[in-house]
Every structure is written in structure tokens, then in C-alpha cells.
Chain A
Amino acid sequence: MTTTTRPAPDDEHEEERTADSSEIGGSHDLSTWATLRRGLELSPELVRGLWITVLLALFATIGKVLTPFVVQQATDNGILAEGGPDVDFVVTAVLIAAGAIVFTGFAQYVVNVRLFRAAESGLATLRLTAFRHIHDLSVLTQSTERRGALVARVTNDVDTISMFVQFGGIMLLVSTAQMLVATILMVVYSPVLAGVVYVCVIPLVVLISRFQPMLGRAYGAVRVRVGELLGAVSESIVGAVTIRAYGVEGRTEERVDAAIENHRVAAVRAQIRSVIAFVSGQAFGGVTTAIVLVVGTVLAADDRMTLGQLLAFLFLVNLFTQPVQQATEIFNELQNAVAGWRRVIGVIDTPADVSDPGADGVRLPRGPITVEFEDVAFSYPGGDRVLRDVNLTFDPTTRIAVVGETGSGKTTLAKLLTRLMDPSEGRVLIDGVDLRDVAFDSLRRRIVMVPQEGFLFDQSLMENIRFGRPEAADEDIELAMTELGLDAWLSGLPLGLATQVGQRGESLSAGERQLVAIARAYLADPDLLVLDEATSAVDPATEVRIQRALEGLTRGRTSVAIAHRLSTAEAADVVVVVDKGHIVAVGPHHELVGAGGVYTRMHASWSAQQHA
């Protein structure tokens, strides 16, 4: 679990904490190769047409290696030619080199553009896949991670990958090719010295491969810190009202500062490790040159090679060590990318526990709907049962009210009914079909829930209501508002339906937001409408008006309303009373009210409030 005080932990501590922190796919720990493989599988664009790019890149590299060669030729055989400088030869060489540069430059441009296109297309696909999957995760899974951290999964974590897939991957291929060419040339010049170079490279390979996991963890820690940072910042933004109302800016600042500082420390730490990796590559280059020169001197003194050959070999060593050093740098970048990739893949590979049966799913025809609960029980992961032994049947076209104390399990019932969650035991059936077997597109069309805190998008009222039925025309929406008796409220808004509601609908009051949520559901026109305290913040007169309108809507449909205001129960055909996770009574209001149970007490208390 995330805790309030987050001291900068040492590494061991950190891993422990990460493993058990509340984040989606947090325990996901793929190896570098597995991550790469899965990453490429998720973004096929990254490798599409790659061979052409590789060929072009090799071409460009040959051009780059060719230029110093031409310069050397021009110097040795032109300027230093026997019998004075050979101007014609130099000019010819220079022109050839210039041509090669222009050609190489063009090839490099094409390579760059191809790489950018492939990388960005691949990453866009990855973003989209992750985004979609987050929405496919169940409400419960979603809520284990803070919004800010979830946003990081589709933004910064993906951005981290871009550097590597733009240049890293291809540079690695090109570097390998360059190493191969250099190796062949070295062997041709002097097999002994080539052997020396390869002996020198062994410690580096061992060191780097040992170092990779450490580097990977360091970059992984940075990604976690970024998630926490964005989580903390998001909290400070979304909680703006509460923070101001309670004057807890200081505390919030401290928390955000701690997240910022933790991120800084993690980032610097990762950077230092990458410097160590880079410098070992550099050390390899320098030490190899020195040793080759020493051994070469011995060989040359022994007449086994000429001084000229030795100097030429030094040039080849450079040709070999340069890409090796580059490779250490790319491995750093690779670990950084893998750290980001792991987090995105972690989300994508988290199974959607409440999933769409998809094409195999049953599609039910529209029309009156029957709902049955069969021995349903539910408990939150690691928690107590909040609902048990639920056996209920809702007949078509009835109006059902679910009442009970706060925390008695009413909302859980609604979430099971709409398949926002699946029961731990038992089945929920509509028209005799298990909800788990109904295709989502069919299910969501037939069943719509209006939650207590309706979310509004930062758009106009009109667009927010249209969310209920995207194909609805403006006139349909206007008509719906009239039918719900909301014209009076609308006319109080200067721009009517064109009014912008602000972020999360914050320009409206909670009651107004509920009105929009109801209008949205009304427009969606489902066969089963589930209202979870949907009018709790609306004034009584408006509520009564809406209720009447909804009755018009629900006539011929099934409706389930969860309510504290027992006026809803009075108007219902059937009242279901929930108490401490059990269904304690089912029946019409007039029967239950005199039965002397929980409902009788609740109703008495409610009536007393109305007429006090």
C-alpha cells in the first residue's frame, strides 16, 4: 500500500515496497528479452519494413567510414605523393568524398524519417492498446492505482521507450555490423592482435551483462517514482477545493515535494549507474589501444609486422572500440526503455477480470427484461463478505426500490446487476442468461446505471447528455430535457444546453450534475435502468418531477432504484430491504410498512422527518 511518508529508501527496501505497492501489474517482472519481444509484438509497426531501414543504415555507415579513408588516401597519395603534391588526385578524391557525403546524408535522412515514422506509429499503437485495456479492466482493478499514475502509463512511460526505438535498436544493429567488419579487417592484418582485442573485450562483456539488471532496476525505480509523482500532483489538483477549504496546502506541498525529491534522487541514481556503464566502455577502448600498442611493438620489434601495419591496425582498433562504446550507451537506453515498457506491458497483460465475452457472447433482443440473482455472494479482495445469499427475481416492467442503511450492500448489488463487478459466488441472470455470457455491446444497451456521483466531461451540457446515445440529434436531447421537466433549470443557464460544464462538471453543483447524469440515462433508453442514489443531491421538488418523468420512462421497462429518500420506495412496485449484506424483506411498500421489520422502522423515521 502506498503510505503518506515516503522517505528516500535504499535499494533493497525500495524493491520490497514496489512489489507490494498498490499498482496495476506491479509485480510484473519480465526479463529484458521477454519485455522486448512482447513490446515488439504489441507494436508491430516498429519492425515493419525494418530490413530496408537497416540496409540504408548500413549504407550510411559505410559512407561515414569511407570518408576518413578517402581523406587518408588523399593525404598519403595526393599531398604526400612522391614528386610533389598531386593536385588532380586530391581534387578527384575530395569530389568523390563530397559525393559520398551527400549520398550518405541523404540515406541518413531517409533512415531517420523511416525510424521516426516506425517508432511513433508503434508507440501510438502501444498507447492506444494500453488505454483501451485500462478501460477494460474492472472498476476494482482500476481503483487500485491513482489516476495520475494511470495517466503516466499511457504518456511518460511510453515516451521513455521512444529514444530507444528511434535510434537505439538500429544503432545496435549498425554497430554490430561495424564490429564485424572491423573484426574481419583486424584478423586480416594481424590475427594475434585481433585476439588481443577480443581478450580485452571479455571483461567488458561480463561487466556490462552483470550491470544490466542493476541498471534495469534503477530505471524501473524512476518509472515508479514518476507514477507516484504524477499521482501526488494529480491529487493536489483534483483535491483543490478540499485542500483550500481545510488550509492543508502545507501538508500537500510536503507530500508533492517528497514525491518530487524521490523522483530526483531515483533519476540521478539511475544516471550515475549509466555513467559507470559508459565509462567502462570508454576504459575498454583506451586500455585496448594501449595494450595493442604494447603487444604490437613487441611483434614489430620481432619483425612479425611493420610499423605501418601497426599504425593501420590502431585505426582498426578505433573502428572496433567505437561501436562497442556506442553499444554500452545503447544498452543504457535499452534498460530505460525496458523500464517504461515493463510498466505499459504490466497494464496490458493484467487480465481483465470482468471481461467482455466478445464475439462468443450472447446478444439479447431488446424488450422487457427479467433479472434473477441466484445464491449471489460478494466480497472485496481480501475483505469480508459484503453481500451473501442473495436470491431475487425482478419481473419485467416492475419498479423496484432497494433500501437499507449506508454500507448495507445496496451499491454492491447495483454493481453486480450492471456487471461492473462479478459475484464471488452464484450467478446474476438476465432473461435467463448469465450476465458473464452476454456480449458487452448488448448488455450496456439494455442495462444502464446512473451512479451517485455522475461524472461530467469538460464539454457542453449537450455533449455530456449525448454521451448516453452518441447518435442522438440535438432535438432528441432537447426533447428529453422537456420530458424530464428540466426546462426551467435549463432556462436559468445563460447558454442553455450550450453551457460548458467545466472539468468534472465543476461549474455545476452536485445536484445539477445528477440532473445531467439522469438525462444521459434517459436518452440512452435502456430496458433496465439502475439508479444508485441518483437524485440524492437534487432538491425535492425537482426530484419528484424527475421521478414522475422516469416513471413514464420506466413504464414498460424494469427499473431498480437505490434510495434513502423513501418517497422512492413508496412509489415502487416492490421494495427490497438490505441489511448487513442480507436481503431481509421483499414486497410492496404497503405490505412491508406494516410488517414491523427493518423497513417499518426506516419508514417511521423518514416520515417523522417529513412532518416534524
Chain B
Amino acid sequence: MTSATRPVERPRPSPAILRQGLRVIWTGIRQQKKIFSIAVVGSALWALATVATAWAIGYVVETEVTPAVQSGEVTSGGLWMIFLVLFAVLLVNMTGVVVRRVAASIAGFNLQALYRRRVTRQYLRLPLSWHHAHPSGQLLSNAHADIEAAWQIFNPLPMAIGVIVMLLIGGTQMVLVDPFLALIGFLVFPGLFAANMVFQRFMSPRITKAQQLRAEVAEVAHESFEAGMLVKAMGREQEETDRFGAVTNDLRDSLIQVGRTRGVFEPVIEAIPVLGTLAVLAVGTARVASGDLTAADVVEIAYLFSILAFPVRALGWVLAEIPRSLVGYRRVDSVLQARGSMDYGEGRLPRDGAARARAEQVSYAYAEPAERAVLGADHPAEPVTAPVGPQRAMAIRDVTLEVPAGRTIALVGPTGSGKSTLTSLVLRLMDPDSGTVTMDEIDLRSVRKGEVPEVGTLVAQQTFMFDDPVRDNVTLGEDLPDEVVWEALRTARADGFVSAMPGALDSVIGERGGNLSGGQRQRIALARAIVRRPRLLVLDDATSAVDPAIEQAILGGLRETSDGMTVLVVAYRMATIQLADHIVYLEQGRVVDQGTHEELAARCQGYGDLVNAYAREAAERAAVAADEEKS
């Protein structure tokens, strides 16, 4: 049951993590050049001021404090001097810190926002088949946690650059004092580097796993909350909690592993500079004893080392962040690089009169969800449309459908016969694996993006409501006068209950449709379609939750307003079928027969069984009842 037990192939770390990590950082810097430069300037100020603090204390002690103590006399001018020199350095230091921190966080959050926009654009751009292969919860985690992981490194980064400035100053001073001793001190760096290499090697796979598990936790939570009512109705709260518990515990263990690795790395990184100081001390003393160096020189170098030791840890933080940043970036990048989006042309569709739609020899198979991709895997940009194999369900096979302009065509067929798939293809929600779909003889693949929804509108079986007022749920952001909205609601027979709601058009419908019944939601969805006055209206069993009398009224209303409108309707009810000029009967993804109701009823047994099921049932029941009465 748990998605944690699903065999997820986790991406393996490649050796050149540091290099790739630096490349990610560079990518970020390039996109935030200005603000990042400001942060670096701030950081440099801070670095200079930090080095200058030690110098300033030395300076005032030498020029003011010592003479005052020796002479036993203090002047207010001298005291002010002490205070002001130190305060000036402090001000520079504070300015540097403010500029560095503020600019760094702006750069970091700008990058996060930038990549969130890119990723969410991509979600909107990628085809439905891609969405089928990527759980919503994972995408949610990608848009938040992965992007955060990728760019949080920008918080410590400017400081680390400041530390490098400090090291340059300190290093130069050391070399000036004694190159040999400085060289010993510099051995710290290969040490840090080696420790970091070892760390990266262990850390990368662990972080990768943790980030994937984070996404899985979000996935289970998202799915489980969506299923909230079912879970309750079936009393499966405990099972769901167990399922969530399994991934949560995996995440916990994985994060503890990450912590263990960090737990080793941090003390090591902290110890190395201190050990360097000690080495300098020991070697320095020997050199003083052998007369190569003065004691004061060694003290100076040791002192320089001791003030550098703490900031050097900032380098460690950046290094420690690199694996996480890289993993986050890879996962984000795999979404950004995902191919398989729909191609659009430059063509346009006519705007007047009823549309003529045609699907020619189309086939479509859904991707098996087992082909689900893992974000950020080694070969991320796999095309989602895998070859058609026996394991893939062919929803539609070689179907040719003609929807003449201004006519009403009904699609009839048993549950699962491919009707919904066919309607999706007609409006180019998906592209067929083979065959072509045209509108007014224009291949839908050759028209611009956004053109098809302008002309054709779908009312799906399952209504989706936005967390918005009724008005916006109907207009979907288009600027329409309220009369037009009411008119559409009237046609959909939704005006009654909407006007009874406390805020009428301003009543907010929650994401889950709030307190509206299924039928009410369907009627709002119908109004949403009607208000757009499409040239082709596709109703995919869009009145299944509406009761018969109202359905009749709606369809009647549609009929009145549908001059210049072509209607393709998926239907079971006789009343709906009666509206159609022509009926196409589907079974198992193929067109079995088509014609008028009378023709089909006469010659197609499947069709007859389907549409007469209720009548026959009623007749049988009546007969049984009559028998019982007789006996």
C-alpha cells in the first residue's frame, strides 16, 4: 500500500559533485548579478572591518591606553579617541553585515521566486500525460522544498566570499612575516578540501534520498487529504496514518543519516584550522629556538590564525550546503528540462458560425503510471510518451469521428469505452498517438496556443471548482458584465440556487466545491461553458448529477441558444440522446456503429441493450411483481 515500498530507483551521485555544485552556484550568481555583487561588497566591508577591529584595539591600546596608564592621567579627548576609533570600525562592520545579509537573502529569495515561476509555468505547459506520471504531492514538494534546497546556499555564500577576502589579507600578512611558517599554515586548506571531498561523497546520496523522501511524504499527505472523505467514510484513518507513518519514519531515518554525516564533518572542519594554529606554534617555536625567527613574528602569525579560525567555518557551511543545493537543483532542473510538451503552430481558427470537428484514424493509449519518473534521476528528461506496448491500455483505436457544423452528435457506449478520451482529443487536451484531429479542416496541431479553448469548450464529467466566488468560477477571469453571467447561470438552471446563496455571485466556492451538491457544481460548470459562447461545445456526461427535469430544461435552453454552435455530447439518457442528430456508438475504443437512434436501435444490439436497459428492467420488475400478485 505505501508508496515508500514502491521500488523507487534513486539517483546515484556522480563523482564531480563539487564542480557541479559550483556550477549551480554560478548559475544562480549569473541571474542575480547586481544584488549578489552588492552582497559581496557588503561582505568585503565586513571582512575588512573584522580584520581592522583587532588592529584598532591594538592601535588605541598603544597610542592612548598605555600612555594614559603609564602617566596616570586621562584626558577626555583621549577617551573619546578610544571610543570613536572602535565605534567607527564597528559601524563599518555593521554596515557590511546589514548589506551582506539583506542583499544575500534578497538574492536567495529572488532566485527561489524565479525558479518557482519557471517550475509552475512548466507544470502548466507540460501535457496531461506528464502530469499522470508525476504525483501532485511530489510536484508540490518540487515547487517548494527542492527550490528552497537549491538556493538556500545563497545565505552563507556571501559570507564565505568575505572570508576569502579575510584569508587573502591574513595570508598576505603571514607570507610577509615568514613564508615558511605561512606555508605550514596553508596546509590547512588541502586538509579542508580533502575532508570536504570525503564528506561530499557520503553526503550526496543521503541528501538525494532525503529529498526524494520529502517529496514522498508530501505525496502521501496530498493524496490522503484529497481522499479525506473516503478515508472517513470507510473508517481507514488508522491505515492512512500507518501509511503516512511509514514514509515519515523513512524520512526521519534518512535525515538522521544526513545528520550523522554532518555531525562528523562539522567537528572535523572546525578542528582543522585549530590544529593548523597549533602546528604553526610548534614549528614556530622550533624556528625561534634555531634563531630563524623572532618570537614576536610567531605570536603575530598565531594571532592571525586565531582570528581567522572562526570565520573559516563559514566556508565549511557553504561546502556542507553544496550537496543539498545540487540535489535540489537537479530535481528542479529535471522538471524544467522535461520534454513532451505540446507543439503549437501559428495558425488561427475561424471565429464565426458553428465549428466542424473531425478526428481521423486516431488512436490513443494512456501511459502506464508504473512508468512514473523520479525527479532528478540520472537521465531525467525521458520522454513520457513511451512506445505502445501490450501493457498499455489502448483507450481509442483507429477512430474516425465527424462532427458536422451546427449539428449535435451523441457519443454513446459502455463505461470505459473511450468516450471521454475521444472528447479530450477533439479539443486537443491531448494529442493522439496516431491520426489527426481537425477543426474546420485545420489541423489542431498547427494552430497557436490558446486558440482551441477560444473556439471549443469542454464540460467534463468531474467538475473542478476554483477557490473563488461564483462569478469568477463562471467567467474564469474574463471581464464580463453580471447580466451575462446571470444569463449563463439561467441557461444552466443555476440561477435559482446561486441567488439564494448569501453572497450570490460573490459567494466563495471552496476548493472542494464547498457546500454545493454535485448537481449544483455541474450546473455552474455548464454555465462556465455557456458563457463563453463556444463554436463547439463538448459535454462529457456533464449532467450526470443533475436530476432529469432540470437536465431537460438545461438541454432545452441550450437548444434555444445554440444557433451557430456544434455540440458533441456523451450521453446515456434517452432524453439527451434524443437531442442528437447523429449517434456514434463506441465499444472498447472502437466505433461499432453510427446513425440515427432508430437505425441504431434496429441494427446494433449493444446500443439497444444500453439505451433500453432501464425500460427493460422496469418491465421485468413489473412482470415479477405481477407474478407475485397472482400467486
Is B477 a contact partner of A248 (Cβ separation < 8 A)?
yes
Residue A340, interface by CB 8 Å: no
Q: A71-B277, A97-B278 are in contact. Are A452 and B225 (CB under 8 A)?
A: no
Is B227 a contact partner of A494 (Cβ separation < 8 A)?
no
Residue B51, interface by CB 8 Å: no
- Closest beta carbon of chain B to A76's beta carbon, Å: 9
Residue A112, interface by CB 8 Å: yes
Is A502 a contact partner of B366 (Cβ separation < 8 A)?
yes
Residue B144, interface by CB 8 Å: yes
Q: Mark B312-324, 1 if CB is under 8 A from A, else 0.
A: 0000000000000
Residue A142, interface by CB 8 Å: yes
Measured CB to CB, the nearest residue on chain B to A530 is B233
Residues of chain A within 8 A of B270, CB atoms compared: 105, 108
Q: Mark A75-116, 1 if CB is under 8 A from B, else 0.
A: 100111000111100110110011001101110110011011
- Closest beta carbon of chain A to B556's beta carbon, Å: 12
- How far is it, in angstroms, between the C-alpha of A230 and the C-alpha of B145 when the chains are bound? 11
- How far is it, in angstroms, between the C-alpha of A383 and the C-alpha of B231 when the chains are bound? 26
Is B86 a contact partner of A143 (Cβ separation < 8 A)?
no
- How far is it, in angstroms, between the C-alpha of A457 and the C-alpha of B601 when the chains are bound? 38
Q: A155-B214, A237-B131 are in contact. Are A120 and B252 (CB under 8 A)?
A: yes
Residues of A286-343 whose CB lies within 8 A of B: 286-287, 289-291, 293-294, 296-298, 300-303, 307, 310-311, 314
Q: A155-B141, A539-B415 are in contact. Are A128 and B544 (CB under 8 A)?
A: no
- Closest beta carbon of chain B to A578's beta carbon, Å: 11
Is B282 a contact partner of A297 (Cβ separation < 8 A)?
no
Q: A260-B116, A290-B82, A564-B545 are in contact. Are A112 and B237 (CB under 8 A)?
A: no
Chain B binder among A30-38, A272-280, A369-377: A272-280
Residues of A224-247 whose CB lies within 8 A of B: 226, 229-231, 233-247
* Of the residues B79, B241, B248, B621, contact of A294 by C-beta under 8 Å: B79
* Of the residues A75, A98, A235, A296, contact of B275 by C-beta under 8 Å: A98
Residues of B196-238 whose CB lies within 8 A of A: 214, 217-218, 221-237
Residue A527, interface by CB 8 Å: no
- How far is it, in angstroms, between the C-alpha of A249 and the C-alpha of B416 when the chains are bound? 29
Q: Provide the main secondary structure of the chain A interface.
A: helix
The interface on chain A, measured as residues whose beta carbon lies within 8 A of the other chain's beta carbons, has a size of 202
Residue A509, interface by CB 8 Å: yes
Q: Provide the main secondary structure of the chain B interface.
A: helix
Q: A79-B295, A139-B229, A610-B574 are in contact. Are A536 and B508 (CB under 8 A)?
A: no
Residues of chain B within 8 A of A298, CB atoms compared: 74, 79
Is A87 a contact partner of B286 (Cβ separation < 8 A)?
yes
- Closest beta carbon of chain B to A154's beta carbon, Å: 5
Q: A147-B226, A271-B109, A406-B517 are in contact. Are A109 and B618 (CB under 8 A)?
A: no
Chain A binder among B15-23, B178-186, B459-467: B459-467
Is B282 a contact partner of A494 (Cβ separation < 8 A)?
no
Chain A binder among B166-174, B375-383, B437-445, B608-616: B608-616
Is A74 a contact partner of B227 (Cβ separation < 8 A)?
no
Residue B262, interface by CB 8 Å: yes
Q: Find the residue from B121, B143, B264, B510 having the highest chain A CB count within 10 A.
A: B143
Is A301 a contact partner of B393 (Cβ separation < 8 A)?
no
Is B120 a contact partner of A90 (Cβ separation < 8 A)?
no
Is A264 a contact partner of B109 (Cβ separation < 8 A)?
yes
Residue A448, interface by CB 8 Å: yes
Residue B520, interface by CB 8 Å: yes
- Closest beta carbon of chain B to A585's beta carbon, Å: 16
* Of the residues A116, A602, A606, contact of B255 by C-beta under 8 Å: A116
* Of the residues A1, A252, A293, A411, contact of B508 by C-beta under 8 Å: A1
- How far is it, in angstroms, between the C-alpha of A511 and the C-alpha of B214 when the chains are bound? 34
Residues of chain A within 8 A of B284, CB atoms compared: 79
Residue A50, interface by CB 8 Å: no
* Of the residues B97, B285, B472, B518, contact of A453 by C-beta under 8 Å: B518
Is A260 a contact partner of B117 (Cβ separation < 8 A)?
yes
- Closest beta carbon of chain A to B517's beta carbon, Å: 5
- How far is it, in angstroms, between the C-alpha of A459 and the C-alpha of B123 when the chains are bound? 22
Chain B binder among A8-16, A358-366, A427-435, A439-447: A439-447
Is A297 a contact partner of B83 (Cβ separation < 8 A)?
no
Q: Find the residue from A117, A310, A314, A470 having the highest chain B CB count within 10 A.
A: A117
Is A297 a contact partner of B74 (Cβ separation < 8 A)?
yes
Chain B binder among A51-59, A191-199, A208-216, A565-573: A565-573
* Of the residues B235, B241, B464, contact of A241 by C-beta under 8 Å: B464
Is A564 a contact partner of B271 (Cβ separation < 8 A)?
no
Is B144 a contact partner of A457 (Cβ separation < 8 A)?
no
Q: Mark A380-395, 1 if CB is under 8 A from B, else 0.
A: 1011101000000000
Residues of chain B within 8 A of A151, CB atoms compared: 137, 140, 218, 221-222, 225
- Closest beta carbon of chain A to B158's beta carbon, Å: 13
Chain B binder among A181-189, A474-482, A541-549, A552-560: A541-549
Q: Find the residue from A257, A294, A300, A303 having the highest chain B CB count within 10 A.
A: A294
- How far is it, in angstroms, between the C-alpha of A524 and the C-alpha of B468 when the chains are bound? 37
Residue B631, interface by CB 8 Å: no
Measured CB to CB, the nearest residue on chain B to A291 is B83
- How far is it, in angstroms, between the C-alpha of A500 and the C-alpha of B6 when the chains are bound? 13
Q: A104-B267, A120-B256, A135-B228 are in contact. Are A237 and B278 (CB under 8 A)?
A: no
Is B83 a contact partner of A248 (Cβ separation < 8 A)?
no
Is B281 a contact partner of A147 (Cβ separation < 8 A)?
no
Residue A7, interface by CB 8 Å: no
Q: Mark A115-144, 1 if CB is under 8 A from B, else 0.
A: 111011101100110011011100100111
Q: A503-B135, A503-B369, A537-B541 are in contact. Are A245 and B458 (CB under 8 A)?
A: yes
Measured CB to CB, the nearest residue on chain B to A322 is B310
Is B259 a contact partner of A112 (Cβ separation < 8 A)?
yes
Is B241 a contact partner of A128 (Cβ separation < 8 A)?
yes
Is A131 a contact partner of B274 (Cβ separation < 8 A)?
no
Chain A binder among B25-33, B347-355, B400-408, B547-555: B547-555
Residue A166, interface by CB 8 Å: yes
Q: Mark A433-476, 1 if CB is under 8 A from B, else 0.
A: 00000001101110011011111011100010001101000000
Residues of chain B within 8 A of A543, CB atoms compared: 613
- How far is it, in angstroms, between the C-alpha of A310 and the C-alpha of B74 when the chains are bound? 15
21 A-B contacts, Cβ less than 8 Å apart? A71-B281, A79-B299, A97-B274, A101-B274, A108-B270, A120-B256, A135-B240, A139-B228, A237-B139, A252-B124, A297-B79, A298-B74, A406-B517, A406-B546, A441-B235, A451-B233, A453-B518, A504-B226, A537-B544, A539-B414, A612-B574
Q: Which 4 A/B pairs are nearest by Cβ-Cβ distance? A: A444-B235, A116-B259, A247-B453, A406-B519
Additional 17 contacts, C-beta under 8 A, given A79-B299, A112-B262, A407-B517: A71-B277, A85-B288, A120-B259, A142-B225, A237-B140, A240-B124, A245-B453, A252-B124, A268-B106, A282-B94, A310-B65, A406-B523, A458-B369, A492-B416, A506-B132, A511-B541, A566-B548
